[in-house]
Amino acid sequence: MKEKLAGIEERFIKLEQLLSDPEVIKDQKQYQEYLKEHGELNKIVQVFRDYAKTLEDLEEARELLKDDDEEMRAMAKEESAELEQAVPELEKQLQVMLMPKDPRDDKNVIIEIRAGTGGDESGIFTGDLFRMYTRYAEGKRWDVEIIEENPSASGGFKEVVFMVKGKGAYSSFKYESGIHRVQRVPETEAQGRVHTSAVTVAVLPEAEDVDIDINPADLKIDVFRSSGPGGQSVNTTDSAVRITHLPTGVVATCQDEKSQHKNKAKAMNVLKARLFDAKIQEEEQKRAAERKDQVGSGDRSGRIRTYNYPQGRMTDHRIGLTLYKLDSIMEGDIQAIVDELKTYNQAQALQDIG
């Protein structure tokens, strides 16, 4: 690990020299690439330097333990104890930083929420989750763009598909895939009984052309009139677009925009993401046997979370996390959940490496 870190520091120093080179500064494209790499390496180099300094200070403190002065030895003993505690913490931090980064982490993300069991209540909770994710994204100053929505008569949605645009969006949302269960008394329940409903969430990284190759001859494109709740027409032109990928049968639809061109572009984005996701799912399944305990970002067949309204409780079943602040969670305060899932995943990955 030390050799790898030394190599990273060497590259960091080289980048600092390049960034002050007038010839590099003239080439703005090259300059920006070096600046980005410098920024990515900066944090790990600073931690590595702290680590090297801590080891150096520890060695000096241990030497002072041999000093003739009793007071000096006592001070050295206390300092050694503190430094010995700091070393493994810094090592763990560096190990996490050196872990291979998921190349999809910085991508925009497409989130699909669909009502499941529970009838009207499931549709209402689909709307609640959409609001929760939207509020969280807004707090991050990310853009939210609706791609497809199918409102339910009692409120909420039968289905809603939307994109979150922002650096790191996928890394924050990728563990949301799965079945979300809600326990509460529906507004329509006269007896005050708690009902259990379920909603399915699918999280897809936005696919770029380099991620997935689509032959235009494999696509069937249909246009039709947009419709609102109850099926009434909301547009007098054929602006809605449905794209079918014939080899796989994967379909993507968009009718949110008034422009057929914009709807086609959005539907194409979703289609690419779904095909890319199918490719990811295949990889995840191959990896599943090796990492059974790791929180996966692709498995949507299992219940991952329960939102219990009577007790104001949210439980993530994968990591055993329970928080009694459901009101704020449903308003988008989910960063603590995101952080716990990331930490758990990193710990499992480090265990696998070890």
263-290 pLDDT tens trace = 888 888 889 888 888 887 777 676 555 4
What pLDDT, in 10s, does the model give residues 298-320? 455 679 999 999 999 999 999 99
Whether residues 151 and 74 fall in one domain? no
Same domain, 166 and 282: yes
User: 279-299 burial by CB neighbour count: b if 16+ within 10 A, else e?
Assistant: ebeeeeeeeeeeeeebbbbbb
Per-residue pLDDT averaged across 5-33, rounded?
91
Average pLDDT for residues 202-223, to the nearest whole number?
85
Shared domain check, 125 and 24:
no
Domain end, chosen from 98, 129, 157, is at 98
Would you state the pLDDT for residue 293?
47
Retrieve residue 16's tokens: 């600092």
**How, if at all, do strands 143-151 and 313-316 pair?**
unpaired
Range of the domain at 58: 2-98
pTM: 0.69
Tens digit of each residue's pLDDT (9 = 90 or more) over 87-113 = 988 988 888 778 777 788 888 999 999
The string of DSSP letters for 145-173 reads EEEEEEE-TTSSEEEEEEEEESTTHHHHH
Residues 88 and 114 placed together within one structural domain of the fold? no
Residue 305 belongs to domain with CATH number: 3.30.70.1660
Q: How far apart are CA 325 and CA 286, in angstroms?
A: 37
Residue 151, judged by CB atoms within 10 A of its CB (0-12, 13-18, 19+), counts as: middle
For residues 230 and 168, membership in a common domain is answered with: yes
Cβ contact 180:199 at 8 Å: yes
Residue 19, domain member (yes or no) = yes
Higher pLDDT: 113 or 40? It is 113
Give pLDDT tens digits for 172-182. 999 999 999 99
29: in domain: yes
**Cα–Cα distance for residue pair 70/277, rounded to 1 Å:** 65
Q: What is the mean pLDDT of residues 5-23?
A: 91
